[in-house]
Amino acid sequence: MRLRDYSYGDIEFQVSKLVYNKTSGVFSDIRNGKTSSDEYYDSEVLFIDSGKLHEWKDSGAIYSIERI
């Protein structure tokens, strides 16, 4: 996912069109610059409350957050 906007505690994400069963595929796409392209992401956006995002990170549901 790519963060698109943050305002008033809501975070707007774009979700990748691709799905991987291991994190190595995502990290490879980041290293190779594929995630920089708008074509990599679906046009539909996902809104998540920032509190929910912190819960997911604390529970281990979010593996990593990368700043690129």
Tokens of 12: 């707007």
pLDDT in tens, 30-62: 899 999 999 999 999 999 998 898 898 899 888
Half-sphere exposure of 42 (CA within 13 A, CB side): 12
pLDDT at position 19 over 70 = yes
- The CA distance from 61 to 53, in Å, is 9
pLDDT at position 68 over 70 = no
Predicted pLDDT of residue 45 = 92
- pTM for the structure as a whole: 0.70
* Averaged pLDDT score across all residues of the chain: 88
pLDDT more than 70, % of the chain: 97
- The CA distance from 68 to 65, in Å, is 10
* Radius of gyration of the chain from its Cα atoms, rounded to whole angstroms: 12
